[in-house]
Chains A and B, each alone.
Chain A
Amino acid sequence: MTYARDVAALARKDLLLELRARETLPAMVLFVLSTLVAFRFALPGGGTERQTIGLLWVAILFTSLVGLTRAFVPEREQRVLDGLVLAPVDRSAIWFGKVTATLAFLVAAEVVALPAYALFFEGLTWETVAAVALADIGICAVGTILAAMAAAGRARELLFPLLFLPLSLPILVGGVGAGVGDDPARFLAFLGLYDAVFAILAWASFEYVVTE
C-alpha cells in the first residue's frame, strides 16, 4: 500500500509538471498527427491493410520515442534524481511512477491518433486496439529504464533511440501480427509475454541504473 502511494505521488508529480510545462503531450500529439498525414500522402491510393497497419505501428513507436526522450528531462536538468534516490522509497517506485505518467501521455496521444488513422486509412479492429494497449505497457516499461540510462550519458539523444529501437522490434512484430495475422490471439499473447518479461526486468534493475 505504501509502495502504491509512493508510485501515485511520483506519477502525480510528473502529470503536474506536464500540466505546467505542456512540452511532452502536445509534441507527441502533433508528431503522430503529422506523421499520419505524411503517410496518407505517401500512400495516395490508401495502401493495403498490411501497409497501413505497419505505418500505424511505426507512427506509434516514434511518437513514444518523443515522449520517452523527455521522460527524465526535469530530473536531469535540475539533478532532482539525487533527491528521489535519497528518499527512503523503493527505488523501483521511481521507475513505476515514471512508467505510469509516460503511459498516460502515450495513451492520450493515441486517443487522437487512432481515430485519425481510422479517418485517413480504414477502420480499426479490436485486435489492433488490444495490441496497442498491450504494446503501450511494454514500450513504457522498457523505454523508461532506457531513458534513465541514457539520461546519465552525454550523447543521450543519440543513445536512447539506439538502445530503444532494437528492443522494441518485438513490439512491432507483435503489433502488426495482431492486426493482420491469421491468429491474432497468438500475437496478443506474445505482446503480453513481452510486457511481463521486460516489465519485471526493468522493475528489478532500475535501482542499479539510478545508483552507481
Chain B
Amino acid sequence: MIRARGLERRYGAKRVLRGLDLDVARGDFTVVTGSNGSGKTTLLRLVAGLASPTGGELSVDVDRAQLGFVGHESLVYRELTAIENLVLYARLYRVPEARERIGMLLERFGLWDARNERASTYSRGMLQRLALCRALLHEPSLLLLDEPYSGLDAEGAELLDRELAERRARATFLVATHDPERLASLATGALAL
C-alpha cells in the first residue's frame, strides 16, 4: 500500500529524511519511532500528500477519500462547534448517513455533551478527541496518526486503544509515537528513524 525507496525530504539546507526505504502492506500496523526532529511527522505528511519528496520515490496506493490523518493540529475550525466541524467534513467526504455517524463518534469519544460548544472552548485533550472523530468519520482504510495519544488523559487514551484495536482488522496503520510499548500488541512492524 505504501512503498518508499530512497525517500528524501529537505527543508532548505536541512535534510530531514535521507534514503528511507519503507514497505507497508495492506492490513499492516507500522509504528514509527524516533527522537524529536527525526522526520516522523515529515514522513506522515509525505505519505498523506501534504508535502512532496525532494528525492527518491514514494507511491501510496490509496485514494484520498480513504485516507485518515491525525497530525499535530486538530484541523478543525475553532469558531465552529464540534457538530459543525464534523458536518463540514462529512459533506466533503460524502459520508452517508452523516448525522448518525457523527453522533456515534461523538458519543464514543465522550464529546456528545459538548457537541454544540465551539472548539475554541475545548481543552487540548478534547481537541485531540475531535481530531480523531474527524479522521475516523469516513471509515478510512489507511490511517496516518502522528502522536495520536498526545494531549489525551488516561480515559481518552484507553478509548483510543479500544478504537485502534477494533479497527485493526479493517484498516492499515502508520503511527508515529514516542510510546511504542503502548502499541506493541497491535503492531506488525516498526520503523526507527
Chain A interface residues (CB < 8 Å from chain B) = 2, 5-6, 9-10, 13, 16-17, 20-21, 74, 78-80, 82-89, 211-212
Residues of B within 8 Å of A, CB-based: how many? 28
- Complex interface: chain B residues within 8 A of A86 (CB): 48-50, 64, 67, 69, 75
Interface centre among A16, A80, A83, A84 (most CB of B within 10 A): A83
A9-B91, A20-B118 known; A85-B77 Cβ under 8 A:
no
Q: Mark B169-185, 1 if CB is under 8 A from A, else 0.
A: 00000000000000000
A interface, over-half SS: helix
A19 nearest in chain B by CB position: B79
User: Is A84 a contact partner of B92 (Cβ separation < 8 A)?
Assistant: yes
User: Is B48 a contact partner of A16 (Cβ separation < 8 A)?
Assistant: no
11 interchain pairs, CB-CB under 8 A: A6-B91, A13-B80, A16-B84, A21-B79, A74-B77, A74-B79, A78-B77, A80-B73, A86-B75, A87-B64, A88-B65
The reply on B165 being an interface residue by CB < 8 A is no
The reply on B51 being an interface residue by CB < 8 A is yes
The reply on B52 being an interface residue by CB < 8 A is yes
Contact of A82 among B63, B71, B94 (CB under 8 A): B71
For the complex of A and B, the 3 pairs showing the least CB-CB separation, nearest first, are A83-B75, A88-B65, A87-B92
B72 nearest in chain A by CB position: A79
The reply on B134 being an interface residue by CB < 8 A is yes
Contact of A20 among B51, B75, B79 (CB under 8 A): B79
- Complex interface: chain A residues within 8 A of B74 (CB): 78
Nearest CB in chain B: distance from A208 CB, A: 11
User: Is B75 a contact partner of A80 (Cβ separation < 8 A)?
Assistant: yes
B interface, over-half SS: loop
CA distance A80 to B75 in the complex (A): 4
A16-B80, A16-B84, A212-B52 known; A78-B92 Cβ under 8 A:
no
User: Is B79 a contact partner of A87 (Cβ separation < 8 A)?
Assistant: no
CA distance A87 to B95 in the complex (A): 12
The reply on B76 being an interface residue by CB < 8 A is yes
A16-B84, A88-B63, A88-B65 known; A83-B91 Cβ under 8 A:
no
The reply on B104 being an interface residue by CB < 8 A is no
A74 nearest in chain B by CB position: B77
A83-B89, A87-B93 known; A13-B77 Cβ under 8 A:
yes
The reply on B88 being an interface residue by CB < 8 A is yes
CA distance A20 to B94 in the complex (A): 26
CA distance A152 to B4 in the complex (A): 27
Nearest CB in chain A: distance from B127 CB, A: 10
CA distance A20 to B93 in the complex (A): 25
B92 nearest in chain A by CB position: A87
User: Is A6 a contact partner of B50 (Cβ separation < 8 A)?
Assistant: no
- Complex interface: chain B residues within 8 A of A21 (CB): 79
User: Is B76 a contact partner of A83 (Cβ separation < 8 A)?
Assistant: yes
User: Is A78 a contact partner of B76 (Cβ separation < 8 A)?
Assistant: yes
- Complex interface: chain A residues within 8 A of B65 (CB): 88
User: Is B75 a contact partner of A88 (Cβ separation < 8 A)?
Assistant: no
User: Is A17 a contact partner of B49 (Cβ separation < 8 A)?
Assistant: no
Nearest CB in chain B: distance from A82 CB, A: 6
- Complex interface: chain A residues within 8 A of B91 (CB): 5-6, 9
A16-B84, A82-B50, A83-B134 known; A88-B93 Cβ under 8 A:
yes
